Structure 1
Amino acid sequence: MMEKFRRIFVIVADSLGVGAMPDSPAFGDVGVNTLGHISQTADSFHIPTLQKLGLANITPLKQVPPASAPLAYYGKLCEKSNGKDTMTGHWEMMGLEVTRPFKTFTETGFPPELIRELEKRTGRTVIGNKSASGTEILDELAEEEIATGHMIVYTSADSVMQICGNEETFGLDELYRCCEIARELTMKEEWRVGRVIARPYTGKKKGEFKRTSNRHDYALKPFGKTALDALKASGLDVISVGKIRDIFDGQGITDSHKSKSSVHGMEQTLEIAQTDFHGLCFVNLVDFDALWGHRRDPEGYAREIEKFDVNLGRLLDLMKKDDLLIITADHGNDPTYTGTDHTREKVPFLAYSPSMKGGAEIPEQETFAVVGATIAVNFGVKMPEGTIGSSLLSLLK
C-alpha cells in the first residue's frame, strides 16, 4: 500500500483532558474538564492556531469560539485502560491496554520493608517518605539532606518513587546509582511502581532550591510490543522528544531528544521538522502537567497553552503536503479540581495535514489506541500481536 503520509508528528499535550468519562466518578473525579475549566478560570486565553485547527469545537471554551471551518479533523478519545497516569495513557496510545493499574503509595508512603531495604542497599537514611509536591518537599527537607547526606524520597498521586539529590553535595552519579537500586527493588510485585524518578536540584537554602533538567525517569518496560516496535522493525524513524523515551524505556525508539521544558520540546520539534526523516516524531510536552496541573494553577496552564500555540503556528508553516500532525493528551489534570492528582478524562484528537481539504468532526473513539493503529496503517506496518485499536486513516481525507 502506498503510504499517505511520509512523516507523522504526534504531540501529547500532557494532561490536557477535555471532560469526564462515564467511569470518572469511580476514579474520584466528578465534573472534571481540564481544558474547559482553564478557559473558564483564566483572565484571557488567546490560542489562534489551536482555534483554527478546531480545539474549541471539541469542548466549549469561554473565550474561544469554535471555528466555523476547522482545518483539522477533531474529536474525543476515551481511555480503555484502567488508570489515569502517564504510562497508562501513552502505552494505550501505542496499542497496549493496561488492565491492572500501577501501584500508588499516595496515602501511606512506601512500606517500611521497602524503605529499610533501600537504606541498606544505598547506605543512606531515607527522609520524607510521603506524598508531596516536588517544590514543597525541597523547602521542607533539602537543608537537612545537604547537612546530613540523608536522601529525600517521596511520591505523588502517580505511580512513582521520586528521589531528590543536590547536584553539588549529593552528586548526580550518586543520585542515579540510588535510583537504579530503587528501580530494582520496586520491580517486586507488591512494590511495583511505574517509574522511579531522579530529581536533582541546586541551591543551598529554603526559597532558593531549583529542580534541574538532569531529571531521569527509570520506567518499567512495556509489557508487550507496541506500534513503536513495529515501526522501528520496519526500518522507519521513531524520534522521541521529551519524556517519551523514558515512558517506553527506550523500546521502539531510534533517536531521542531530552527537553528542558515544553517550549524547548517544541523548539526541538521545529528543528526535527526541518530534517528529512521518514516515520514518526513522538513528542511529550510535560510542563502542562508538572508545572500547572499538579500545582492547581489554571492561569499558569493557560499561559503555557498560549506559548505552545505560538510554536504550533511555526510548525504548521514548516509542514509539507505529505506530513500529518496529531495533537492529543494522555489523561486529565483539572487545575480547578480538589487535590493534586490527575483526573480521569477524555482527551482531544486533532489531525491536520496541509494536503487536507478541510476538517470535520470524527465520532468519539473508545480508546487512545486509534493513534498508534492509524500510524501503523499509514506506513503499511502490522501492529504487534495482542495490541488494541483500529485506524482512523480512511477518515482523514
Structure 2
Amino acid sequence: MGKYKRIFVIVIDSLGIGQMPDGEKFGDIGVNTLGHISEAVDSFRIPNLQRLGLANLTPLKQVEALESPLGYQAVVREASNGKDTMTGHWEMMGIETKTPFQTFTDHGFPQELITELERRTGHKIIGNKSASGTAIIDELGEEEIATGHMIVYTSADSVLQICGNEETFDLQELYRCCEIARELTLREEWRVGRVIARPYIGKKKGEFERTSNRHDYALKPSGATALNVLKDSGFDVISVGKIVDIFDGEGITQAHKSKSSVHGMEQTLELAQKDFHGLCFVNLVDFDAKWGHRRNPEGYRDELEKFDEKLGLLLETLWEEDLLMISADHGTDPTYTGTDHTREKVPLLAYSKSMKGSGRLPEQETFAVIGATAAENFGVSMPKNTIGTSLLHFLK
C-alpha cells in the first residue's frame, strides 16, 4: 500500500488567487478571485481554510495568515493554453492542452451549425447568443413552452447549451437533442469543450428555475490521464459532482452526481466514512456557476463559508492514512468585467492527520502536480505524454 490509502482531491471551482503571468493575453489584468471577494465584502469567516493556510497564499482583508498553518500550501500555475473547466481538470490529471477549445461568445454559433441542428432535431432554434442561463430562460422560456422551439445559447466558455422545460419539452428529448449537438460539434471548426443540457421548470417569466437534471456532454480527454492508470491498476476512482462529465467517464469506477456544492460536500463526507482504496475526486461547481459568472462576491463569500463548515467536519472525519488536497481549476473573479473565467493561479492545500511537518512549498508550474502525486502514492506510472511531477516527497 502507498503512503496514503485514500486521497481526496476537492476542486473549489474557479477559486483563483491572482493573475497568471500571461493573463494580459487572455484579457485578465489584475484579477484575483479570492482576494477581490475579500475586498468586496464586510465579513468573511473561513476558519478551517485559514487553518490550512489559504490566507497565506494571497492577502485577505478579514482573514489573517497564520505563522504555522496545518499541512502544506502552494501557489500553482496553469501550463495549458486556456482558462476553462475541462482544460483545468484535465491538466490536474496530466494533460497539457495546447490548442484551446472554440468559443462563440461574440456572434453566437455559425448559421450552418444552427441549420443542421434544426434539421437533425426537428426544432426551430431561438436564442443563439452569449447569455446568462437564467436570463435567457426568463427571456425566451415562455416562447419555448408555447411553440416547442429550442433555446440554444453559449457563454464565454467553450460550450453549447440547450434549455428545455421538463414539463413541456421532455427531459429525454432534451438529452436527445444534446447528443445530436455533441456529434455535430466534433467538427474542428465547431469543436466546443462541452454541450450542456439545461433543464428547467416553471410556466412564466420570474418563476422559471433550473433543475439538478443538468447533463454535460464533454469531449473525451485527449489522452490517458492519472485516472486511467489508477483504474487500470485496480484502485478506486470515485467522482463527486461533474468530474464524471468532464472526463466523459474515462478512468472513473464510481460516480456520484451532486445537486449543489453543499450536497457535494455531504456526499464526500459519506464517502470518507467508507472503506476504499484510491482517489476521491470532487468538483464543487456552484462557486463558478452561481456566483463567479454572475459577478456576485457576496454569494461567493457565502458559498465559501458553507464549504468551510463542511470542511471542518471532513477534517474530523479523515483517517490517519488519508491525504486531502484542495485546489481550483481557474478563476472567475466576481469583481471583474464581463462574465468570463479569469486566467489565474490557484491554491493547493495539502493535509493529512499523519503529517509531522508543514509549510509553504515552492510555486508550482502546473496543476498536474496533483495527479502525479496521486500516481506516485499508489505506485503507478503516469501515462506517456503527460506532464507534472509528484509532490509526495514534500508531504511529510
TM range (shorter): over 0.9
User: Identity, % of aligned pairs?
Assistant: 76
Distance 1:293 1:310 in 2: 20
Structure 1 partner of 2:388: 389
Residue 30 (structure 1) aligns with: 29
Tell me the amino acid that sits aligned with residue 93 of structure 1: M
The residue type equivalent to 1:363 in the other structure is P
Q: For residue 299 of structure 1, what is the aligned residue in structure 2?
A: 298
Q: Kindly report structure 1 stretches of 4+ aligned residues shifted beyond 2 Å.
A: none
> Match for 1:35: what amino acid?
L
Alpha carbons 1:69, 1:358 under 8 Å: kept = no
Task: Tell me if structure 2 keeps the 8 A contact 1:13–1:286.
Answer: yes
**Does the aligned pair in 2 maintain the 1:166–1:201 contact within 8 Å?**
yes
2:242 corresponds in structure 1 to 243
What residue in structure 1 maps to residue 217 of structure 2? 218
Residue of structure 2 in register with 1:132 after alignment = 131
Partner AA of 1:316 in structure 2: L
Cα deviations across residues 87-141 of structure 1 (Å, max 9, x unaligned)? 0000000000000000000001000000000000000000000000001001100
Unaligned runs of 5+ in 2: none
2:42 match: 43
Q: Which amino acid is the alignment partner of residue 60 of structure 2?
A: L
In the alignment, what sits opposite 1:149? 148
**C-alpha contact (below 8 Å) 1:10/1:283 kept by paired residues:** yes
Match for residue 11 of structure 1?
10
Q: Which amino acid aligns with 1:381?
A: V
2:177 counterpart of 1:168: no
The residue that corresponds to 2:365 in the other structure is 366
After superposition, give the CA deviation of every residue in 1:162-198 in whole Å (9 maximum; x if it has no partner).
0000000000000000000000000011000000000
- Please tell me the residue identity of whatever aligns with 1:231: L
TM-score scaled to structure 2, two decimals?
1.00
Q: Distance in 2 between matches of 1:186 and 1:53?
A: 42
**Residues 1:80 and 2:93 aligned together:** no
Give the TM-score of the pair, scaled to structure 1: 0.99
Displacement of 1:257: 0.2
Unpaired runs of 5+ residues, structure 1, are none
SS in 1 for 2:87: helix
CA RMSD, aligned part only? 0.5
Q: Equivalent residue for 1:200?
A: 199
Q: Aligned residue for 2:265?
A: 266
Query: Cα distance, 1:358 vs. partner?
Result: 3.9
Instruction: Indicate whether 1:284 and 2:286 are aligned.
Output: no
Amino acid at match of 2:175: Y
How far off is 1:68 after superposition?
Answer: 1.7
Aligned length: 396
AA aligned to 1:79 is E
Quote the residue 2:336 is aligned against. Answer: 337
Which residue in 2 is equivalent to 1:63? 62
The answer to whether the Cα contact below 8 Å between 1:70 and 1:358 also exists between their aligned partners in 2 is no
Please report how far the alpha carbon of residue 322 of structure 1 lies from its aligned counterpart in structure 2 after TM superposition: 0.6
Letter aligned with residue 305 of structure 1 = L
Between 273-282 and 356-365, report the one with greater CA deviation: 356-365
Structure 1 CA distance, aligned partners of 2:35 and 2:228? Answer: 35
**Residue type at the aligned position of 2:218:** A
